[in-house]
Amino acid sequence: MTGRARVFGDDVNTDYIITSRRKRESIDPQYLRGYLFEELDPAFAASVKPQDLIVAGKNFGCGSAMEVAVTALVGAGIRAVLARSFSRTYYRNAVNNGLLPVVCETRGIREGDRLTIADGRVLNDTTGEIVPAEPSPQVMLEIIEAGGLVGYMLRRHRS
């Protein structure tokens, strides 16, 4: 997976990803994607492109467990988030929706860097830096492989 880094800081809570107020208006990801990160970067929603990769510091997705904080990103075509750590609810919700959460050192990544995620590591094509990604628990790999929890549940209940 290759994409352009869109960089945020530490402790980006779910209300910063998408506010509870917007969620009150609609839970449609195609509506919500228009308000992504509006408190942190009002220009983000207009500039986000499919294949962009979200890069953050520690504790990404802290706060509320609301799943629109994942589906709004997926709705914008984002396939992975790289962070030094995730809140556990965000990590779970991401996996369940096929958004790949990558735990790795992100401090060397700058806005706009071109990143490739492959074979358990992250290659920064812009700087040449390579950082390892933390392995995920087996059950999460199975859910990701099924494309999310819906695919996983369908597979499990069929067998």
Partner 1 sequence: MPGETISEKILSAKSGRDARAGDVVICRVDCAMGTDGSVPMALDYFAAMGGKRVFAPEQVVFALDHYAGDGPTAELHRRVRDFAAAHGIRVWEVGEGIGHQLILEQGLAKPGDLVLGADSHAVTYGAVNAFATGIGSSDLAAILVSGEIWLRVPESIRVTLTGKIPPGVGAKDAALVLARELGADGATYQALEFAGVELPLDDRIVLANMSVEMGAKNGIFPAGVKPDPDARYVREIHVALNSLTPQVALPHHVDNVAPVGEAAGTPIQMVYLGTCTGGRVSDYHEALRVLQAGGGPAAGVELVVVPASRAVLDTLTADGTIAAFEGMGAKVGAPGCGSCCGTCGPIPGDGVNVISTANRNFKGRMGNGAAAIYLASPASCAAAAVRGAIVDPREWNR
The least CB distance from residue 132 to partner 1, in Å, is 19
Q: If we measure between CA atoms, which residue out of 121, 19, 12 comes closest to residue 56?
A: 12
Phi, psi of 38, deg, nearest 5: -65, -30
Q: Phi first, then psi: what are they for 142, rounded to 5°?
A: -65, -40
Using CB under 8 A as the binding rule, whether residue 25 contacts partner 1 is answered as: yes
Closer by beta carbon to partner 1, 28 or else 125: 28
Q: Which is nearer to partner 1, 25 or 125 (CB)?
A: 25
The CA distances from residue 81 to 41, 69, 76, 155, 156, in Å, are 17, 12, 13, 26, 27
Q: Which of 55, 56, 68, 109 binds partner 1 (CB under 8 A)?
A: 68
- C-alpha 6/C-alpha 8 separation (Å) is 7
Asked if 141 is part of the footprint of partner 1 (rule: CB under 8 A), the reply reads no
Between 81 and 115, whose beta carbon lies closer to partner 1? 81
Q: What does the alpha-carbon distance between residue 106 and residue 9 come to, in Å, rounded to a whole number?
A: 10
Among 11, 41, 105, 129, binds partner 1 (CB under 8 A): 11
Contact pick of 53, 56, 81, 92 for partner 1 (by CB under 8 A): 92
- 100 sits in which H/E element: strand 100-103
- Contact residues for partner 1 (CB under 8 A)? 11, 13, 15-16, 19-21, 23-27, 39, 58-59, 62-68, 70-71, 85-89, 92-93, 96-97, 137-139, 148-150, 153-154, 157
